Each structure stands twice: as structure tokens, then as C-alpha cells.
Amino acid sequence: MSKLKLYKPQAFERPDSFQWDAPSHALERWADKPMAAEADNANTISIYDVIGEDWWTGEGITAKRIAGALRAIGSKDVTVNINSPGGDMFEGLAIYNLLAEHPGVVNVRVMGIAASAASVIAMAGDTIEMGLGSFLMIHNAWGVVVGNQNDMREASDTFAKFDDAMADIYTHRTEGDKDEITAMMNAETFITANEAVEKGFATGTFESPKQTEKETQASAELSAKRRVDAMLAKQGLPRSERRKLMRDAAGTQNATGTAKPRAGFDVALVADTLKTLRS
């Protein structure tokens, strides 16, 4: 199978004042999706986290990590499984370009949700399969900018260019109308698996694999934490503050600031924070 001629957007300079986050609506949908099982195939890359490095947890999907995985795979075909609420749009675009340049065939499978920056990554597939019950979400560039009017103006110009590049990626992929795609982005549109195939965002669907009892239990615990994160995001709490609160809820700290594990997750601590935010 020959590689698709994918749209190659220009690289963008990240504003110094830019701070990324995943949209709260995407975090909510992500929380409801079961945790996808890790693939045993060495030629499979799993994107099951936010896009971009999370300094609080040491996790997150970065272009550096994907580049390393692709180097290990070599020129072979690769499967990319995605269940992500998005995040850092600059990292998302860099990962898209890495996959678009991969010499082997790239098969993308959306296991739960591919939102925001993750939906851009999905467009790099030669094939894009959506699990029944999964979603794509497309919207305008998302992030927080801190600074003076010059910083805001610079960031606004960058965001506008980024939106145009994303619209070009979606339009090229779907062979659709750019004005219609732009309208969908402005409206923050969730697209079901069947709609994605109809509109050209995907090439097919598949039945999501059933989870084992152990995987189901792990999914329930992870979903609970993701729902809390989504609720905090809806209250306007920045990602850095949410991560600190979640870390504190998962363990106490000693005098040096090192977290100590405690049994379970301190729901009361998070509930008190939510109550304070709403008051």
C-alpha cells in the first residue's frame, strides 16, 4: 500500500507565555471511556494520555517519545492506538508530522476519544479506524497565555495561524469544504465513529475489544480520577494546580516535599476544594 500524500503544515514558534491544557469537555468524555489495553505488538504505539509533557506526573505524550518509538520500529508498518483528550497543540502538530513522514504504513485506531491535538495526530494515518462508541473532537487552538498586551496579541496571531493549519489538515484529509470544517472547529464538534466515516475523517470502524475483569477494575479507578480532573477544569482551575491537588489527594508530603503513598484517593480533600471554588 502506498503512503498517502498528507498535508504538511509549517512549524510554529511556541509563545513564551503559552501554557497548554486539555479542554474540560474533552476531559469529561475521556473520563467516561474505558482504559484501553496495552498492545503486545512491538510495532504498536499507544497514545493513552494527554498530549504534551506533564511536569507534575512525569507523564504525557511528547514528540520526543513518539520519535523514539518510531526509530525502534524502523521502516515497518505501525499501528497507533489513540485514547486522548488532547493537550499541547504544538506537540500534537509535531507528532502528526513525525507520523506523516514515517516510511511505513501508519494505521490509526481510535480506542475511545481523539480530541483536540489528538484528533490532529489521528489524521496522519493511512487508515483511520474508529472504535464503535468512540469520538473525534475538533475545535480551535486551545491554551492559556499569561503576559501583557503584546504577549496576548502575539499568541492570538499564532493561534489564528494554527487554526488555519488544522483546518487545512482536516480539509485535506476529508476532501471537504474548508469553510464547513472551520465552522465545525468554531463550534467545538464531537464526531461519532459512523459520522467520522461519512464525513471522511475515518476510513472504517471496529468493535472495541472487551476488557478483562482486572482491566475493568483498573478503568473504574482511573475514570474516577479523570472525572475529578474534569470537574476541577470546569471550575477554571489551571492544569498545574489540578495536578498539585491530585498529587496531594493521592499521598501526603514530608518536609522535603516528597509524596508518600496513602491508601486510596482522598476524595474529601478534592470535594472541599470544589466547594471552595464554587462558593
Residue pair 107/127 in contact (Cβ under 8 Å)? The answer is yes
For 232-268, what is each residue's pLDDT tens digit?
766 767 666 776 776 666 654 443 444 444 444 455 5
When pLDDT is cut at 50, 70 and 90, the band that residue 106 belongs to is very high
Q: Which three cell numbers stand for residue 68?
A: 523514539
Q: How many domains does the chain have?
A: 2
pLDDT digits (tens, 9 = 90+) for 159-182: 899 999 999 999 999 999 999 999
Asked which of 181, 206, 231 is the last residue of a domain, the reply is: 206
Domain-located, residue 10? no
The CB-side HSE value for 42 (13 A sphere, CA atoms) comes to 6
Q: 69 — phi, psi (to 5°)?
A: -65, -40
Residue 35 inside a domain? The answer is yes
pLDDT at 265: 46
CATH number of the domain at 119, please.
3.90.226.10
End-of-domain residue from the set 206, 231, 248: 206
Q: What share of the chain is helix, strand, coil (3-state, %, to 5)?
A: 45, 20, 35
Residue 212 has pLDDT above 70, yes or no: no
Under a CB-based contact definition with an 8 Å cutoff, are residues 230 and 21 in contact? no
Residues 140 and 181 in one domain: yes
Q: Are 23 and 139 in contact (CB under 8 A)?
A: yes
Are residue 37 and residue 63 in the same domain, yes or no? Answer: yes
Do 165 and 74 share a structural domain? yes
Q: What does residue 78 show for φ and ψ, rounded to 5 degrees? A: -135, 145
Q: Which domain holds residue 81?
A: 18-206
- Whether 4 is in a domain gets the answer no
So what's the pLDDT on residue 133? 92
Highest mean predicted confidence (pLDDT) among 13-22, 29-38, 138-147, 212-221? 138-147
C-alpha cell read off for 79: 499501528
**The dihedral sign for the CA sequence 55, 223, 218, 131:** negative
User: Do 148 and 230 lie in a common domain?
Assistant: no
From 187, 206, 225, give the residue that closes a domain. 206
- The letter for the amino acid at 189 is T
